[in-house]
Copies of this chain bind each other. A is one copy, B any other.
Amino acid sequence: MTLDTAWSELSELLGDRITRSKPDLAAHGGSESYFPATPPEAVAYPEATAEVSALVRICAAHGVPVTGWGAGTSLEGQAQAFSGGVVVDFARMNRVLGVGQADMDARVQPGLTREALNEELRATGLFFPVDPGANASIGGMASTRASGTTAVRYGTMRDNVLGLEVVLADGRVIRTGTRARKSSAGYDLTGLFIGAEGTLGLITELTLRLHGQPEAVSAAVCAFDSIGDAVRAVVDTIQMGIPMARIEFVDEGTVAAVNAYSGSEMALVPHLLVEFHGSDSAVEEQAEAFGTIVADHGGHGFQWAASAEDRRALWTLRHHAYWAILAARPGTRAVVTDICVPISRLAEAVEATQADLQEHGITGPILGHVGDGNFHAILLFDPSDVAELERVKAASDRMVALALSMGGTSTGEHGVGVGKKAFMAREHGDAWQVMGLVKQALDPQNLMNPGKLAPDAN
């Protein structure tokens, strides 16, 4: 046991902030996802970058794997320590270190959650827009290149992180990026660590790009007779340059689950949920222009959520869709797939997926970030039925194959972890080997979140 030889040094470094207690290990062994629980050998709770650096140095010296843990909300097993070793839980590194009002930026620690950040920002007139639904940690969101409902307007984590502090595999601490809005000074290391899932180092600080809280916000929901009509409305909307803040799709299966769970009474047809940000008159104009497009494509049942309360209800409904769908068949779990295709192929992709699921007798409501061409199917299975899980995973695999055949990607926002690793060679070809070269160069011992994302070391 390599951890045993490192234990005395780790204990000396962190005292009771590193533990092998069963409850701690169990709490860091699972995820929302379908992977079997795999408790790590130890859980550490560092309070400063210097501690993370020292911890990684000790682990490197003893050959102990190191896996980062934010809020534990990732969906492809990214935070599970399948190879054992130490899970580094950033719960105690969760502070806002500074807000630059004029520069519209913030320095934060990785364990901060996005909701806590926006709570702290409330009085500044600024906000951090990336919203993956779950109250994820900012460090975890950066590590999986998260996005979510607002990416169509504000971009993904790739677009909203200006710089990072990273502890490398040998314990060295580097800074990437600056507080300048842009730079051409060398390789984009910030971009390299975003989406790297902790396989190249641990993020210990982030400089984030903030946005001004919009003067006015308005949201709406409207119904369509078919996904094709809804998508065509979206394509027109984006081509017109209407700066939608959110534009979300839910299929009839999702609507049924949400109605049952939340008591809403939406018609059992596909819907778009949208939000507009801007000045009062800009929001009004955007909404009017969108309304015209929607009418052109047979949209109906337009309902406004102008008050903050109604809007909150609308997006709570959307964010709880996952739970609503799970609740529709009590006792089930879900494989949550996440493909992204060129928007011109989106209607076809959703329809083909619906037909495939029906053919295979799988319950899998579909919802997603239609403005980006990104959608999820929440594929239900009975955890005691191994054959059903296999059937559901096969359906998820067919969705990925479909996305790739359409020039899309196997994951729009959930990341690779172990769940999508089998598709990397097919999606990237030799470029996956290039990722392997980068991994090997930065983590030659393969101790940083080993087994995830990159090709297995030889």
**Within 8 Å of chain B (Cβ to Cβ): is A192?**
yes
**Within 8 Å of chain B (Cβ to Cβ): is A104?**
yes
Q: A103-B343, A285-B282, A342-B105 are in contact. Are A185 and B428 (CB under 8 A)?
A: yes
Q: A174-B431, A342-B100, A440-B441 are in contact. Are A192 and B187 (CB under 8 A)?
A: yes
A184–B144 contact, CB under 8 A? yes
Q: Which of A89-97, A354-362, A414-422 contacts B (4 or more CB under 8 A)?
A: A414-422
1/0 contact string of A177-204 vs chain B (CB within 8 Å): 0111111111111011011100010000
B194–A374 contact, CB under 8 A? no
Residue of B nearest to A428 (CB): B186
Shortest distance in angstroms between A152's beta carbon and chain B's nearest beta carbon?
8
Q: Which of A17-25, A220-228, A234-242, A256-264 contacts B (4 or more CB under 8 A)?
A: A234-242
Contacts of A187 in B (CB 8 A): 192, 195-196, 200, 435, 438-439, 453-454
Contacts of A172 in B (CB 8 A): 430
Q: A184-B416, A241-B215, A413-B184 are in contact. Are A179 and B429 (CB under 8 A)?
A: no
A183–B409 contact, CB under 8 A? yes
Contacts of A408 in B (CB 8 A): 178-180
Tallying the copies of this chain within the complex gives 2
A285–B279 contact, CB under 8 A? yes
* Chain A: interface residue total (CB-CB under 8 A): 95
**Within 8 Å of chain B (Cβ to Cβ): is A13?**
no
**Within 8 Å of chain B (Cβ to Cβ): is A212?**
yes
Contacts of A458 in B (CB 8 A): none
**Within 8 Å of chain B (Cβ to Cβ): is A372?**
yes
B372–A414 contact, CB under 8 A? no
A102–B412 contact, CB under 8 A? no
A interface residue numbers (CB < 8 A to B)? 100, 102-105, 125, 144-147, 151, 155-156, 158-159, 168, 172-176, 178-189, 191-192, 194-196, 200, 211-212, 214-215, 235, 238-241, 243, 277-279, 281-282, 285, 289, 338, 340-344, 372-374, 403, 407-416, 420, 423-424, 427-432, 434-435, 437-442, 453-454
A to B CB contacts below 8 Å, 23 in the list: A100-B342, A102-B343, A145-B184, A158-B182, A175-B428, A175-B431, A178-B407, A180-B372, A180-B407, A181-B374, A182-B340, A182-B409, A182-B412, A183-B412, A185-B410, A187-B435, A192-B192, A192-B438, A212-B238, A241-B278, A279-B285, A279-B289, A438-B442
